[in-house]
Each structure stands twice: as C-alpha cells, then as structure tokens.
Chains A and B, each alone.
Chain A
Amino acid sequence: MAGVLAARGNVRVAVLPKPGRVTPMSPSRVVRVSDSLGPSGRLPRAYLVPGQASFADFLSAHDPHLLPSGRALPPGMVPEAPHGTTIVAVEFAGGAVMAGDRRATMGSMIAHREIEKVFGTDEYSCVGIAGAAGLAIELVKLFQVELEHYEKIEGTLLSLEGKANRLATMIRGNLGMAMQGLAVVPLFAGYDVDTGQGRIYSYDVTGGCYAERHHHSVGSGSLFARGSLKKLWRPGLDAAGAVRTAVEALYDAADDDSATGGPDLDRRIYPVVGVVDAEGYRRVDEATMQGVVDAVVQGRRVDPGGATPGPVREGTP
C-alpha cells in the first residue's frame, strides 16, 4: 500500500519574463503551485491552526496569490477585458428572483454572447455579477467555496446577513483592482431561513453593502432596468410573476443599452434566471424561459414600451 501513495514534493514553477522585455514587477517572480504541501509532504502548520472558519482568510494567510485580489498589477493601463452588463433582482412573497442577460462586452465589441452571470452560491443564495467578468467569476467561485467551507467547519449554515457581509469583505479586498479599472459589482439575493423571506443586497466598489427593498439592478443597463422594475413590480408577486417582471426589465435594458443583450430567439439564447425560496436555489429551465421570453417579445410587438397592462399583472405564466 505504501508504494501507491507516492510522496509529493514542493513543486516550484519559475515564471521568466519574455526575453527583451523588462517587466516592472519584482525581478524574480516565483509562483508557488497552489496546494504545495510542506517539504516532507505533510500539511503545513497553517492548515492545523484551529478557530478559523473562513476559506478566504485561510487563503490570504497561506496562499494569497490565489485570491482574486491578491495579485499586484503592473503599473499602466489594464488592457481591455470582457465586462458583464446587466443584472436584475426581484423579490416576491417568500423568495427572490435574479436574472442576467447573456452579453459580455469588450469596448464596443461583443466579447461573448452567451456568458452566464447568475450563479447559485449555496442552497439558499445566489449572486449576479456585473463588471470585469474574469475577476467576477473568480470571486463568485471563491464565495461559493467560502460558504461551503464555513458550513463544513462550523456544522451550521451562515445567516443570510452573514453571507452578505462575507461578500462585502471580498469586494472591499478588490478595491485596488477596481481603481485600476477592474471593478466587480455583484448583486446578492437569498432566502432568509429564519424569517422565510427573500432579500436583495447591493454593493459598491468600496465594499459597501446595502439591503435593497423589493428590487434592484446593477450594470450598464441598470438605469433602464430600474425604471422598468419600478413600474412593473407589485406587492404580492409570485415566483412566476417575478420571473416575468425580471425578463421585462432586462428587455427594457437591452432596448436602450447597447451593452445589454436582448433575448436571441434565433439561437435560443435566453437570460439566465435563478429563483431562491424555501425550496432552495434553482435555475429556471430552458423550456420555461422560452415560454416567458416568447410572451414578453409577443407583448412588445403590439406595444414596444410594454406599458399595456398585460399578463404581468396576473402573475403569469
């Protein structure tokens, strides 16, 4: 048996600068392979330190280069990178809905036409991301591990407020990147197990965390989406009505913001919509989305502004 378990060494990979190019960073950049164990293959002391339930804090002490915010950027302009655009979130009785369009832009170019920007982060919460897409997706991944890590170490779920605050800490850590143009602005929604309600939290680049009432939107098309949400949201919406309202708001955002993608009926690319309530987080499946999107598009054919009292009021589909 002993032979099967070969000892793993401490692997070091040196990243050399390209010849003929001077990098402004430290002269010898040595990147440690992420999970390198001690020289003997044993778990390093940091692993055995008790009383730490946060994965992000563990990473920043042990392996800071793995944190999205743990890298020093060289001086100068950051080259153009894909940016996520519009996210909307809508509360309904007993839960919340989050929806994102499928476009990522790089300047005036469409970088990706079916990117996914809404993610379930644990059983009762989800995050939608706007801003620098690469960094944001990495941040969501870290946040997902953070929540599960806490659950496993402490043996209980983090409260919804606690989750929202953990995300705020991560955004705050990203301020340096934001100042270089790589801002990440998430929208967080979850189901509060204690009160039985859906809650929405928004963030600013400095890590400010704000509980929102009823609905909110972030990203380049958020101005138009917010206007739309204000007019369409009604108290006592059910989950299907909230999904419809969110899709209408994304339609309005795409109508007036070139960086927000509308539903692509030819390629069957529909917004990513997640619902979180007492049953947990689930993504609305494609067949249902097709029905919702067809209904919205059909309605706008008759009335491009979407102001006609329509099925939204009745809480369909």
Chain B
Amino acid sequence: MNMPFYVSPEQLMKDRADYARKGIARGRSVVVLAYDGGIAFVAENPSRALHKISEIYDRIAFAAVGKYNEFENLRVAGVRYADLRGYSYDRSDVTARGLANAYAQTLGTVFTQESKPYEVEIVVAEVGTSSELDQIYRLTYDGSVDDERGFVAMGGQAESITTALTERWRPGLTLAQALALAVEVLAQDPVGGEPRALGPDQLEVAVLDRQRERRLFRRIAGPLVERLLSPSDPTDDVPHVDDARPGSHDTVGEDPPA
C-alpha cells in the first residue's frame, strides 16, 4: 500500500518562506528613513524607467524590493485602492494604515493559498504634519506588518544595513545627512571589505516633502542628489517649489539652481 503523501504545515510554510526570502535577498537594497522635513527613499537602482519607489497618493509613497512584476502589480493595486477611496470619500480619508492593511491581507492570502508566494517586501510610508506623525509600515512576503520608527532597510544586505542604521540614525537629520547616511550604509560591504562607490546614476532617490501642498512625493534628479551628497556643497534640502519648465513635475532638481 502506498503511504499517503504528507507534508506537515510547518514544513510547507517554512519551504515557502525560504523560497520568498531567497528571492528577496537576491536584489539590491532599499532604505527608507525619516529626516526633519519628511521621509526619504533611497534605492540602489541603475534603471531610470523601472522604479522601486513610487507615489501612491498625496502623502503616501511606496517602496519595494524583490520581483519587479509582482511589486509593480501591488503598486498599481495600491494606486487604485487609494484613488477609489479618495474618490468615494475624501482625499483626507486615504491613509497608509488602510493601505498597509489591504496589502497585508493580500500578501497573507497569496502566501497561504496560492502555489507560489510573492517574492517581495514593501514599505508603505505616510508623511505626517510633524515628524511624530510620520508612519512607516513594512510588509513582508507572508503578510506580516511592522510599524517602524525612523528607518527601514529591505532586500539584499538588509540585516547589516539595519544594524548600521540602528547605530547611526537619529531623529532630526537634515535631508543631506540622511542621504549621506543611506548611501554609506548601502555601499558598505557586509563582510568588512572596502565599501563600493555609489554615484547618483546608480541611485533612485525620492522624498515625501512635508513642506509642500497636496501631492508631496517628488523624485530627486541626479544633479541635485550629487549636490546633496557633496560635503562641500551647502545644499541640504530639496526646493519646495517645482522647476519652472512646463511639463511633468514629478522630479525636482532638473533645472540648474538660479
């Protein structure tokens, strides 16, 4: 008689978790950290077209690591969720908490019920009217949610980056300080070798800027990232008004400073 095929639930879940974790660790890292004027997002991402960081709604942004097609799907779903909510209630009724909840349920259901879990890790961040009201939620492949204070690192060498940030991040950093810190921890070698050189062309940088009105998300163009990172340049924040040239204003710092 054949023995019935049996896999214990513990083993099944462990296999799925290992599978998802491996996929997520293969990519490059993303760091999300609060600074005095908002929340900054820094990703190691040489692509100008395939974003790891995106706008969801007025005060809410999204960052992800893992499989692009999977987190892109989740990003689009998040924009639809937020726009539908804002349309049927009011713009102020769209919250990161609600979105994180919907994402958590979705990731959790996919993890237990579908043949393959999503190989993604997500941050949903909402900038508040003051830094105490900032919210950063980190969601993992199995649907668990963490309410993070101050900073999050995901993907790639997330553990060593988190250790470094725990030691060095403090509230009230300027944007220039926060970016310098993020780039330094992204570039470090986990086994203690020479840090890599990370230039603006390998970075995707964006902010939720508390001092703007309505839509607070802006990408930061390469030249401005360079000025912010340069210790000799006095620039330590993004401009709070858009570039003057007509067209899409999702990016600041493309015009040379006046």
Contact = CB atoms under 8 A, between A and B. Distances in A.
Interface in B215-258: 246-250
A76 interface: no
A107 interface: no
Interface string A26-53: 0000000011011011110001101010
Interface stretch (B24-32, B70-78, B169-177): B70-78
A7 interface: yes
B51 interface: yes
SS class, residues of chain B in contact with chain A: helix
B80 A156 contact: no
A193 interface: yes
A178 interface: no
Contact of A145 (B51, B76, B87): B87
Contacts of A40: 105, 109
B195 to A, nearest CB: 32
A58 B81 CA distance: 11
Contacts of A63: 84
A30 B83 CA distance: 23
Contacts of B103: 43
Q: How large is the interface on A (under 10, 10 to 19, 20 to 34, 35 or more residues)?
A: 35 or more
Contacts, number: 100
B76 A34 contact: no
Interface string B126-167: 000000000000000000111100000000000000000000
Given A66-B88, A142-B87, A152-B79, A37 B73 contact: no
Interface in B48-72: 51, 54-56, 72
A190 B95 CA distance: 31
A252 interface: no
A5 B145 contact: yes
Interface string A58-77: 11000100100000000000
Given A5-B104, A42-B105, A151-B248, A50 B73 contact: yes
Given A41-B105, A152-B55, A58 B80 contact: yes
Interface string B87-114: 1110000000100111111101110000
Given A35-B84, A35-B85, A66-B87, A155 B250 contact: yes
Contacts of A123: 249
A154 to B, nearest CB: 10
A157 B251 CA distance: 13
Interface centre among B77, B80, B97, B104, by most chain A C-beta atoms within 10 angstroms, is: B80
B86 interface: yes
A155 B88 CA distance: 24
Contacts of A124: 246
A152 B51 CA distance: 12
A191 interface: yes
A68 to B, nearest CB: 11
A156 B144 CA distance: 33
A191 B245 CA distance: 13
A43 B101 contact: no
Given A5-B100, A50-B76, A152-B55, A42 B145 contact: no
Contact of A1 (B72, B73, B110, B147): B147
Given A152-B79, A279-B246, 14 more contacts: A34-B84, A35-B84, A41-B102, A48-B77, A50-B73, A58-B80, A58-B84, A66-B88, A123-B249, A141-B87, A149-B79, A151-B250, A152-B83, A156-B248
22 contacts: A4-B97, A5-B104, A5-B145, A6-B101, A7-B105, A37-B102, A37-B105, A38-B105, A42-B102, A42-B108, A42-B110, A48-B106, A52-B76, A55-B80, A59-B84, A145-B87, A148-B83, A149-B80, A151-B248, A157-B248, A191-B246, A280-B246
Instruction: Please provide the 4 A-B residue pairs with the shortest distance between their CB atoms, ordered closest to farther.
Output: A34-B88, A41-B105, A47-B77, A42-B105
